[in-house]
Amino acid sequence: MPAHNLLRRGYRCLVRIDVAAALVAATLAVAALGSCVPQLPSNATLSADRLAAWQADVHARFGGAADWMVSAGAFRFYSSPAFLIPAALLTAASVACVLHRWRPLWRRAVGGPGAGLDLDLDRAPHKATLAASAGGDLVPGLCASLRRRGFQVRIEASSPVTWIQAERNRWVSLASLANHVAVPLLVFGALLSAGMAWSEELTVAPGQSAEVHPGTGLSLCCPQFAVERYPDGSVSSYVARVELTRADGSTIARSLRVNEPLTDGAVSFYLSGYQPAAGGYQVTLLAAYDPGYSLVIGCGLVMLVSAALAFNFPRSAVYARREVDGTWLLAGSADRRAWEFGVEFDRVVDELREGSERPC
C-alpha cells in the first residue's frame, strides 16, 4: 500500500469520535494505574543517601517484587512507553481533530449568509414543506416567529430563490473549537510536567546557604525567621526572610509565609517547616519546578468554560428556501443538547400553516 494512502487511512481513523473516546479512556486508565504505584521523586537521584533511603522504603513496601518493578519501570511510569504511547496517540488524535474540524466550526460561527445552506437542508434531521398556496408570503411570519424564539434571522434573495437563515447561539461553535485546541495543549502540558517537573526540600541552617536543583544556578539563604503571635500568645504566622541569588549574581530578598511562596521564573519556593538550631532557626523550604502546570490549568479552565457554554447555550438553526414554483422547504438542525428543538421546530411549522403572520 502506498505511504500516502496509509497516512490518509490513519488520519481518517484518528478523527473518528469513537477512536478519540477510546484513546481518552485508555490514557485515563493507564494514568490511574500509574497512580497506584509510588513514583521515584525527582530529587531522589540527586543524592546517594536519598536514593538509598527511597529504595529501602520501596523494598519494605513491596518485598521481593520491588526489583522486578524497578526493572519494569513501574516507579518511572509516566516516562515509560506504557504511558507515553497512549498519551502520544491521544495528542495526535486531538491535533487531527482540530485540523479536521476547525474550518467547518469557524465557518459555522462567522460564515456569511447562505454558507453551506444546501448541505444543511439535505442533511437536516427536521424538515417540512409548504405548498405555494399554503405558504403565501411566508417571510414576515417566519421571521417574526423565529425572532420571538431568540433566533438571528438573515435573508438572501436572489431571484427566483429566496433564502432565510436563522441561528441561535451560533458563536458557541467557537467554544467547541477552543475545546478542540485545548485538548492537545493540555496533553502536551501534562507530558511536560511528567518529564521535566521536579521538587526538592532545602534545609537552610542559620548563616548558611543552600544550592537549588542542579542546572538552575540558584542558591538561597535565610537570614531571619520569626514566629508571629496574637496578643493571647497563639501563633498567627510564620515568616522567613529569604535571599535568593541567581546565576548572574543578582539577588531577590522577600518574606515567605505559609501559602505565600516566592517565585522566580518557573521555580517556586514554599515555606515547609522549621526547628530551633544554634544561632537561630533551621528553615525547611520546598523548591518546585513544573513547566506544564500553567498550561494544564489554563487549558483545563478553557475546557470547563467551553463545556459549560456548549451545554447551556446549544446552537440551533432553521433554514427556509423558496423554490422556483413557490414551494417553501424548511429544515432545522441543532446540537444534541438542544433537547426541545424538534418540538420547537414543529410549532414554527404549525404557526405558518395556520396562517399566523406577523410583521418582519
DSSP H or E stretch at residue 341: helix 341-353
Per-residue cell: 158: 436572489
Which cell goes with 162?
429566496
CA distance 213 to 219: 9
Q: Residue 356: its pLDDT value, please?
A: 45
Q: How far apart are CA 130 and CA 354, in angstroms?
A: 11
Measured CA to CA, the distance from residue 283 to residue 275 in angstroms comes to 7
Q: Which helix (H) or strand (E) holds 90?
A: helix 81-110
> Which residues are within 8 A (CB) of 322 and not within 5 positions of it... i.e. 6 or more apart?
135, 138, 160, 161, 162, 328
Q: Degrees (nearest 5) of the Cα angle 168, 328, 350?
A: 65
Instruction: Report the pLDDT value the prediction gives residue 147, as an integer from 0 to 100.
Output: 92
| Number of neighbouring beta carbons within 10 Å of residue 114 | 14
Q: Quick one: pLDDT at residue 215? A: 84
Q: What pLDDT sits at residue 213?
A: 86
pLDDT of residue 165: 86
Rounded (5°) CA angle 107-110-112: 85
The per-residue pLDDT string of the chain (360 residues; one tens digit each, 9 = 90 and over) reads 566 678 888 888 888 888 888 988 998 899 888 888 888 876 666 667 778 888 888 888 888 888 888 888 888 888 888 888 888 888 888 888 888 888 877 877 776 555 445 445 667 889 888 876 544 567 888 888 899 999 988 887 766 677 888 889 888 888 888 888 898 888 888 888 877 888 888 889 988 899 998 888 899 999 999 989 999 989 899 999 999 999 888 998 999 998 889 998 889 999 988 998 888 889 999 999 999 989 999 999 999 999 899 889 998 989 888 877 778 888 998 888 888 899 999 998 888 887 644 444
What per-residue confidence (pLDDT) applies to 134? 47
- Can you list the alpha helix ranges (DSSP code H) found in the chain? 3-14, 17-35, 48-62, 65-72, 81-110, 117-123, 132-135, 138-148, 172-196, 293-312, 341-353
Please give the Cα distance from 61 to 68 (Å, whole number): 13
Q: How many residues in the chain?
A: 360
Taking residue 67's Cβ as centre, other Cβ atoms within 10 Å add up to 13
- What order of strands is seen across the sheet that includes strand 328-334? 126-130, 328-334, 316-322, 161-168, 152-158
3-class state of residue 213 by DSSP:
coil
Alpha-carbon span 215 to 70, nearest angstrom: 26
| Residue 358 contacts residue 144 (beta carbons within 8 Å) | yes
The pLDDT of residue 116 = 47
pTM: 0.69
